[in-house]
């Protein structure tokens, strides 16, 4: 009984030890075959753990080449000589057996299959390293591009925020606006206590000329000595021959970059405008706002209108006697404000200015010039 216990039946293997349809089975097992754990390239057979033991213990099997289990062991057998193909012909790029190397592959460049595999595996590893290096280089380039895009987006967002902040300050804080942008000299030097009903008056900055220019305005316009005030009179005020012109004036200096100026006005009809220098001065459509060369704000006691290309936008509302004009020539922005204790936006233009602009004023512009 004791002997039977010592040599009793061994426990049956678990189900997962048996070979399934996708597994390599042991070629020695009879009945239900176990999974093979190694294949011998010399024996061209696969073995389970039990039947592999002689290859591990016996000296006769020590030189046999063992590999992972393979179902394709017969592919390693030469179909002509029924020998294991242990050599590689580099001339024909194929595996051959020893007999092939001295027969139809005589004179070809041949090496052992193991040596060829080692060399090709080394080449493959080098190629893999090169590919990995390229991937890393591309990832660095992509990262740099992403950083540049983020920087550009951040810069654009910051520029928009700065622009909005500046514009908000311009509208909400008149004093700060005047500090940020060079203002024109004071517009009024004295308070007018009385004014004739027959005179229309406007106070505007006009740069002082370097030399006394030849009069180019209508003779009924009176321009102050410092070229900052202009009035419309009933009687001729100069020897100018320009009787065919409208009652309007332009500054001598062009306006570029960002500019701000103010106009004080009195009367029934006053136009505050900007215009190109080449605006025609004597034709009907040369009035400010009635062509594509000028933009004008028409002012009267009970309403104001914006005009450009003879298109008029009218608002029924009283405005202050002080009008602020902001111009950003490069950005194509032109804004008109009513100035009192606060700034009120009257009209804003967003366009593209193709020429330098000049400040302009027109007095009683609704009627045409009186001929003598």
* Two structure tokens written together for 350: 């967003």
> What is the DSSP annotation of 114-142?
HHHHHHHHHHHHHHHHHHHHHHHHHHHHH
What is the pLDDT, as a whole number, of residue 65? 82
What is the pLDDT, as a whole number, of residue 276? 93
335 membership: H or E segment, kind and range:
strand 333-339
What are the Cα distances from residue 346, in Å, to 102, 183, 305?
Answer: 103, 20, 9
Question: pLDDT 10s digit of each residue in the chain, 372 long?
Answer: 444 344 444 566 777 789 888 889 999 998 889 999 999 888 888 999 999 999 999 988 988 888 889 888 778 888 888 788 889 999 999 999 988 988 889 899 999 988 999 999 999 999 999 999 999 999 999 999 999 999 998 888 888 777 767 766 665 555 555 555 554 444 343 333 333 333 344 444 444 545 555 555 555 554 554 555 555 555 554 544 444 445 788 888 899 888 899 988 888 889 999 999 988 766 667 788 989 999 999 999 889 999 999 899 999 988 999 999 999 999 899 999 999 888 889 999 999 999 999 998 887 643 333 322
Q: Are strands 333-339 and 343-350 parallel, antiparallel or unpaired?
A: antiparallel
Collapsing DSSP to helix, strand or coil, 201 comes out as strand
Report the candidate in 207, 169, 211, 201 with the shortest Cα–Cα distance to residue 185.
207
Please give the Cα distance from 3 to 8 (Å, whole number): 8
Partners of 39 in beta bridges: 46, 67
Look up the CATH number of domain 247-280+288-363.
2.60.120.920
What is the pLDDT, as a whole number, of residue 192? 35
Report the candidate in 356, 349, 332, 178 with the shortest Cα–Cα distance to residue 253.
356
Number of Cβ within 10 Å of residue 287's Cβ equals 22
What is the pLDDT, as a whole number, of residue 83? 82
What are the Cα distances from residue 170, in Å, to 119, 149, 180, 343?
Answer: 76, 31, 9, 9
Instruction: Name the phi and psi angles at 218, rounded to 5.
Output: -60, 145
Q: Is the dihedral of CA 13, 15, 21, 23 positive or negative?
A: negative
Please give the Cα distance from 181 to 16 (Å, whole number): 87
Per-domain boundaries in the chain: 17-76, 247-280+288-363
């Amino acid at each position: 009984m004791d002997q039977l216990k010592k040599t009793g039946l061994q426990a049956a293997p678990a189900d997962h030890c048996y070979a399934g349809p996708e597994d390599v089975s042991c070629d020695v097992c009879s009945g239900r075959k176990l999974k093979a754990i190694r294949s011998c390239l010399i024996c061209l057979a696969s073995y389970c753990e039990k039947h592999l033991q002689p290859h591990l213990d016996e000296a006769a099997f020590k030189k046999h080449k063992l590999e992972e289990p393979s179902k394709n062991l017969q592919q390693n057998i030469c179909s002509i000589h029924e020998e294991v193909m242990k050599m590689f012909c580099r001339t024909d790029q194929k595996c051959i057996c020893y007999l092939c190397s001295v027969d139809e592959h005589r004179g070809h460049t041949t090496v052992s299959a193991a040596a060829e595999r080692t060399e090709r595996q080394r080449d493959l590893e080098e190629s893999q390293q090169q590919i990995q290096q390229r991937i890393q280089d591309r990832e660095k380039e992509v990262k740099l591009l992403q950083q540049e895009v983020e920087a550009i987006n951040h810069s654009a967002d910051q520029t928009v925020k700065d622009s909005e902040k500046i514009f908000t300050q311009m509208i909400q804080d008149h004093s700060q606006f005047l500090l940020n942008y060079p203002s024109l000299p004071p517009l009024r030097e004295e308070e007018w206590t009385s004014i004739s009903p027959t005179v229309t008056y406007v106070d505007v900055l006009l740069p002082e000329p370097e030399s006394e220019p030849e009069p180019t305005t209508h003779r009924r316009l009176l321009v102050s000595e410092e070229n900052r005030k202009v009035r419309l009179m009933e009687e001729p005020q100069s020897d100018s021959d320009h009787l065919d012109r409208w009652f309007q004036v332009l500054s001598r200096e062009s306006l570029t970059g960002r500019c701000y100026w103010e106009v004080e006005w009195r009367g029934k009809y006053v136009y505050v405008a900007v215009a190109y220098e080449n605006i025609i001065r004597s034709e009907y459509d040369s009035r400010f706002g009635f062509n594509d060369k000028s933009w004008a704000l028409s002012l009267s006691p009970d309403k104001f209108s914006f005009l450009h290309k003879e298109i008029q936008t009218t608002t029924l509302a009283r405005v202050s006697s002080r009008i602020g004009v902001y111009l950003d020539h490069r950005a194509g922005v032109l804004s008109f404000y009513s100035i009192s204790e606060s700034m009120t936006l009257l009209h804003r233009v967003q366009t593209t200015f193709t020429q330098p602009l000049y400040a302009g004023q027109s007095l009683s512009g609704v009627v045409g010039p009186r001929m003598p």
